[in-house]
Chain A
Amino acid sequence: MPKKSITIALAGNPNAGKSTIFNNLTGTRQKVGNWPGVTVEKKEGHLTSNGYNLTIVDLPGTYSLTAYSIEEIVARNFVLDEKPDVVVDIIDSSNLERNLYLATQLRELDTKVIFVLNMADLAKERGVKIDGDKLSELLDVPVVFTVGNRNEGTRQLLETVISVAESDTELPRTRRVYYGKDIEKAIAELSEFIKEKTGGKLPYNIRWIAVKLLEDDKIVKERILKAVNPQGEAILREAELKRQRLRDFFDEEPEIVMTDHRYGFIAGIVKEVIKTVSIERVDVSRQIDQVLTNRLLGIPIFVFFIWAMFQLTFSLGAYPMSWIDSAVGLMGRAAAGLLAEGILRDLIVDGVIAGVGSVIVFLPNILILFFCIALFEDTGYMARAAFMMDRVMHLIGLHGKSFIPLLMGFGCNAPAIMATRTLESERDRVLTILINPLMSCSARLPVYVLMAGTFFGARAGNAIFSIYALGIVLAIAVGRLFRSTILRGKTAPFVMELPPYRAPMFKGLLIHMWDRSKIFLKKMGGVILIGSVVVWFLSSFPQQVSFSRDYESEIASIGLHYGDRISSARGDLREQLIREKAQAVSALQAQKAKEKVENSYMGRMGKVLAPVFAPIGMDWRGSVAVLSGFVAKEIVVSTMGVLHAVGAESGKKTEALKQALRKAGMTPLSAYAMMAFVLIYVPCLATVGAIRRETNSWRWAFFSIGYSTVLAWLVAFIIYQGGKVVGL
């Protein structure tokens, strides 16, 4: 017998425990993606129960269905268009009044609704007892009690969902919000008008349409115009007329009066279903906040948490990182051994494995970082961090919540950009993403260490610190500039709930962490793989290079030259000869490698671009190195090593490279200009991939590449030429 399918939508306020219930219902069988066309996260899960195939869709958490925010629009459109069999509204029992606001709006839609009173145990602790039967009777809606973090009531919820979905009783059309005599009259008249005009053709509940039109709901207006024309125009005109009359009567916008009535209606219900047992209890959450958001201690504690997060990420992450690094190396060698010499081998070993490997080593960092973020979010601390940092972020016109993603950027920009999902406003999200690469990530540090170590001696630390500071200053400047030009608009109001602290569920944390990390891994197969192959191709083709010297025969002659002497020598002399031979060979090999890269497409591009880089104090080697840094910024150092013909096997590679840099005519000034350039220019491939994914558009990804490169050149130009003018 084929199983019957039921679609369930989970709705509810943010912090009502929706995702915990979702995890309880679906376990790990969930799919995370985006709602079509927007970057709001969509979670979907499947399960079978009592012979039914259940699809559970987690709607974005909203306080209302007014269609002001993108989340509200997404949630409402899903209910209207996809017509789920049942909508389950998760209600935070200790916050019944505000949660019922969304609940009453759901009741106005033509859909079957179940109320879930979640965390009633907490409510009881706070002295609030809810009469579920009474609530069910008053609103004519099935009510189920659950305790999400103890997985209680899940079974009963499932059974109720199935029985409600299967029942073919009429939708309850009564017991909806009563808006008061005057507005009710307008609703009735407008409903009648709509019925007359359309003959009941509209696919939505007519009373609901009338209510929404009186509230001047833009999306419903568009829908009407699309569904029925030319009658739609007449309906909108009639609605506007009625709005005008109500506005005159109340001396207030009708939608404001209606909101008031909804809460009035709710107040009536709350009075009947809540029994307040007044027990004076210590509010633990408030006590915790006495410390964590304390006027003096709050910020130091926050700084400590962030410091701890970075320590954990980069110190603890360093171990698995080195394992992955050696595993990638092992894979490369294994592949090299298995495959015959040739282009295919080079492609797989140097292109695919090395390229993807250079990004996949960040996986441990990303897992730990996201675990910490999930911990901050699930305990409720994230809201406090935003609360404390909002003042600072407001300088750039951003929300306090942008602070964490920006801070994470100092570790690695790719996961930091993925962390912008916690921001509600799309504009805030794009702005935070665009300035994120200016937070100097850890991959750029090796470049600074090399440059500053070579040219600034004892002041290297200060030089590096000033580069980090430069990034922050630029982020503020660029942020303000974008805010007043391409991302103009009012700052989103900071109406943010500070939910009570909650002990996180380990399973929830893991699911949270894994969801994000999966996105990172998936990218490996796409953008980064292709990008690595392209860069590999550019740096290793053309294969046939006409070398200026015959390196192979020179190496062979060295072998001959030393061969006899080594075999006849004894003791120390013999060892010295062996060392000499190795040095001579490696010097030649380094020269050869340098010539090969110099003649590759990448090298030629570098040389062609050299005039562009000359005004900022970089020679062609610098420009090639910078080009190769697109894959990952730390590669700049290794490319410099190759181009300055520093042998690979000498233990003092860094020392040799430093000498080579000095010899090549770089000055402290040009080194500093290059450091600034590396800080600002094109984000690495992984970051570009993350930008593309999180903004859902190639346009922003290319914009990011473009603006950062132009800015990098300008800043480096000012540093280099300005420095020359003042005689540095």
Chain B
Amino acid sequence: MNLSQLRQGQTAIVVRVGGDGPFRRRLLEMGFLRGTEIYVEKYAPLKDPIELILKGYHVSLRVDEAARVQVTTHTLPSPLKGEGPGGGENVRGMGT
């Protein structure tokens, strides 16, 4: 399912952000990463855009943009191929 199918007050987890390059990149930079929890705070009075809460801040997206974000209401299986977004161990294994 995608983000625009959620109703007010629902929570979901990001699976994948689709769409073209710059849009996708921008969303990722704003924290729409695989595994991130997103809460649907409300729809605007005219039903578009949507107000979301993620990573402790509020952000708004148009409905057709939100439709490009695939989400699930279940917990996610394994993260990305490769090392994936890591935890604390990354901090010590820093590059030069």
Q: Which residues on A are within 8 Å of B, measured CB to CB?
A: 63-64, 66, 68, 94-95, 97-98, 101, 126, 138, 173-182, 184, 187, 207, 249-253, 255-257, 259-261, 263-265, 267-269, 271-272, 286, 289, 293-296, 298-299, 383, 387-388, 390-392, 394, 400, 493-500
Q: Which residues on B are within 8 Å of A, measured CB to CB?
A: 21-31, 33-34, 41-49, 51, 55-62, 65, 80-91, 93-96
Task: Give the nearest-CB partner of B66 in chain A.
Answer: A494
| B82 pairs with A182, CB closer than 8 A | yes
Nearest Cβ in chain A — how far from B77, in angstroms? Answer: 16
| B95 pairs with A179, CB closer than 8 A | yes
Please indicate the chain B residues that have their CB under 8 angstroms from the CB of A269 in the complex. 91
Bound Cα distance from A260 to B81, whole angstroms? 11
Bound Cα distance from A479 to B95, whole angstroms? 50
Q: Known interface pairs A98-B55, A264-B86. Does A387 touch B24 (Cβ–Cβ under 8 Å)? A: no
Bound Cα distance from A637 to B30, whole angstroms? 54
Please indicate the chain B residues that have their CB under 8 angstroms from the CB of A187 in the complex. 95
Task: Give the nearest-CB partner of B87 in chain A.
Answer: A268
Please indicate the chain A residues that have their CB under 8 angstroms from the CB of B30 in the complex. 63, 98, 495, 497
Q: Known interface pairs A97-B56, A494-B62. Does A181 touch B95 (Cβ–Cβ under 8 Å)? A: no
Please indicate the chain A residues that have their CB under 8 angstroms from the CB of B57 in the complex. 95, 98, 497, 499
| B59 pairs with A256, CB closer than 8 A | no
Bound Cα distance from A243 to B43, whole angstroms? 39
Main secondary structure of the interface of A (DSSP, over half): helix
Please indicate the chain B residues that have their CB under 8 angstroms from the CB of A272 in the complex. 88, 91
Known A-B contacts: A267-B86, A498-B51. Give 9 more (CB < 8 A): A95-B57, A177-B94, A252-B80, A261-B83, A264-B83, A265-B90, A493-B65, A494-B65, A496-B59
Please indicate the chain B residues that have their CB under 8 angstroms from the CB of A264 in the complex. 83-87, 90
Please indicate the chain A residues that have their CB under 8 angstroms from the CB of B86 in the complex. 180, 261, 264-265, 267-268
Task: Give the nearest-CB partner of A62 in chain B.
Answer: B29
How many residue pairs between the two chains, A and B, have CB atoms under 8 Å in the bound complex?
175
Please indicate the chain B residues that have their CB under 8 angstroms from the CB of A178 in the complex. 90, 93-95
| A98 pairs with B82, CB closer than 8 A | no
| A263 pairs with B95, CB closer than 8 A | no
Q: Known interface pairs A177-B95, A181-B83. Does A494 touch B26 (Cβ–Cβ under 8 Å)? A: no
Nearest Cβ in chain A — how far from B62, in angstroms? Answer: 5
| B62 pairs with A394, CB closer than 8 A | yes
Question: 21 interchain pairs (CB within 8 A)?
Answer: A66-B29, A98-B57, A173-B96, A174-B94, A176-B94, A178-B90, A250-B80, A259-B33, A261-B90, A264-B84, A268-B86, A293-B45, A295-B42, A295-B45, A296-B45, A388-B46, A390-B60, A394-B62, A495-B30, A496-B60, A499-B57
Nearest Cβ in chain B — how far from A17, in angstroms? Answer: 14
Bound Cα distance from A257 to B84, whole angstroms? 8
Bound Cα distance from A184 to B49, whole angstroms? 39
Please indicate the chain A residues that have their CB under 8 angstroms from the CB of B23 in the complex. 493
Bound Cα distance from A272 to B92, whole angstroms? 11
Bound Cα distance from A255 to B26, whole angstroms? 11
Bound Cα distance from A698 to B55, whole angstroms? 44
Please indicate the chain A residues that have their CB under 8 angstroms from the CB of B47 in the complex. 391
The 3 closest A-B pairs by CB, nearest first: A264-B85, A391-B46, A498-B58
Bound Cα distance from A571 to B90, whole angstroms? 105
Bound Cα distance from A500 to B57, whole angstroms? 8
| B44 pairs with A293, CB closer than 8 A | yes
Query: Which among A95, A391, A394 has the greatest number of chain B C-beta atoms within 10 A?
Result: A391
